[in-house]
Amino acid sequence: MTVKVRFAPSPTGLLHVGNARTALLNYLFAKKAGGQFILRIDDTDAARSTKEFEQAIYRDLGWLGLAHDMADRQANRLAKYSIAFYKLQASDHIYPAYETEVELERQRGLARARRLPPIYNRAALNPATRAKFEAEGRKPHWRFKLSRTKVAWTDLVRGPVEIDTSTMSDPVLVREDGAFLYTLPSVADDIDMGISHVVRGEDHVTNTAAQIEIFQALGGPTPTFAHFPLLVGVGGEALSKRLGSLSLQQLREEGVEPLAVCAYLAKIGTSDAVALSLSLADLALDLDFTKIGRAPAHFDPEELAALNAKALHITPYAMVASRVGVSEALWDAIRPNLSKLSDAAYLATLVTGPVTPVIEDAALTEAAIATLPPEPWDENTWPAWTKAVAAATGAKGKGLYHPLRLALTGRGNGPELKKLLPLIGRAKTLARLKGETA
């Protein structure tokens, strides 16, 4: 069997880290199995869907490196949903219902008062009630008639799952205005596209029981399901309260590396340690749904920031050459000190200048000038030179290195000077030792 999965975002907002995790797990699962990753834009909500958000979905997935094997929009497939609707209608699996939201809420309130499940009472199946509603000129919405039996499946994350559909309301598939809601297009597309596995958040577990019955009613194969716990904040709070600061666009603008995002989202909530992977292929090899725990995964921006720094520290120049305006030698010198790629521009000024030196120990810098060797310089120049300065002054440790760093870079910490010194060059080094901006 060819593994085929889908990511079906709605273009009603920016992708956030929760969406990204769903897309990533689908992508990694497909690639590990040699299967296909389908991007399906769920734009049946015409009132809220926009082209701008659809374009942002493509941009964000491209930034993460999650290349799809096929893409489509549900707005292009409405005729297929109509065919599925008429098939369900012909087999008596759906029925028209006419109650308003106010009437439905009254039903639910009465059920709660009687300590019963607050589900739809199927009043519309009564011919007299239906005739009354139709005589009033009401337009129907259409509900799927659940079996009111237990539906069971083996979930790749949760194990055996059983849902009693007698505790659920018959789901509405089509609104009064004829617009399709999420459920029917999703199932019809999964059948038509040959989706083998549905990988998504556990907030869809209850929906799955109804969807399995719709798969069966339409005569299509039922895919295998995998429902993983949702992301929460560090303190266990819902991320939905902070989505603006956790959108992929925001992370990208803040300088977070896509591979760090992918590595982090692939590992949190699993038995694996959060660690950097060098490629999506490595992440795919490590993916195992049995490693995903049942507790919510805690998303910690500080943990992601630390992983992002580690990613930059091992990133070869070839992977960033087009994104940073520095030489390979300078990149190798500054990358261990980067937290974000944007830091490179500032750290590069330690070499290119201008740097306003800080002369902390005038006597020591005089000795440094006197012992400054001629060029050419390499990484051995710094230890040989500081040894000579130490011999001339008796300075050692922080008393030796800190005044020299302040004079050469104007700051008390930064990249290794044995790598920076040859790049700064003798002329600028001499000027800075003299207290001149250079």
Ordered domains of the chain (ranges, CATH) = 4-72+185-229 (3.40.50.620), 81-174 (3.90.800.10), 239-316 (1.10.1160.10), 317-438 (1.10.10.350)
Q: How far apart are CA 84 and CA 90, in angstroms?
A: 10
Token pair of 228 as six digits = 């993983």
Q: What is the pLDDT of residue 241?
A: 45
pLDDT at 240: 59
Tokens of 215: 């798969």
Backbone angles phi, psi at 322, to 5 degrees: -80, -5
Q: How far is CA 199 from the centre of its chain?
A: 15
Q: Is the peptide bond before 422 cis (omega within 30 degrees of 0)?
A: no
pLDDT in tens, the chain (438 residues): 899 999 999 999 999 999 999 999 999 999 999 999 999 999 988 889 999 999 999 999 999 999 999 999 999 999 999 999 999 999 999 999 999 999 999 999 998 999 888 999 999 999 999 999 999 999 999 999 999 999 999 999 999 999 999 999 999 999 999 999 999 999 999 999 999 999 999 999 999 999 999 999 999 999 999 999 999 888 888 775 444 568 999 999 888 999 999 999 999 999 999 998 889 999 999 999 999 999 999 999 999 999 999 999 999 999 899 999 899 999 999 999 999 999 999 999 999 999 999 999 999 999 999 999 999 999 999 999 999 999 999 999 999 999 999 999 999 999 999 999 999 999 999 999 999 999
Distance in angstroms (rounded) separating the CA atoms of residues 50 and 48? 7
Q: Give the pair of three-digit tokens for residue 227.
A: 């429902």
Give residue 245's pLDDT: 60
Cα-based distances in Å from 351 to 157, 355, 417, 422, 438: 52, 8, 11, 9, 9
Q: How far apart are CA 30 and CA 63, in angstroms?
A: 19
User: Which of 143, 199, 219, 221 is closest to 176 using CA atoms?
Assistant: 143
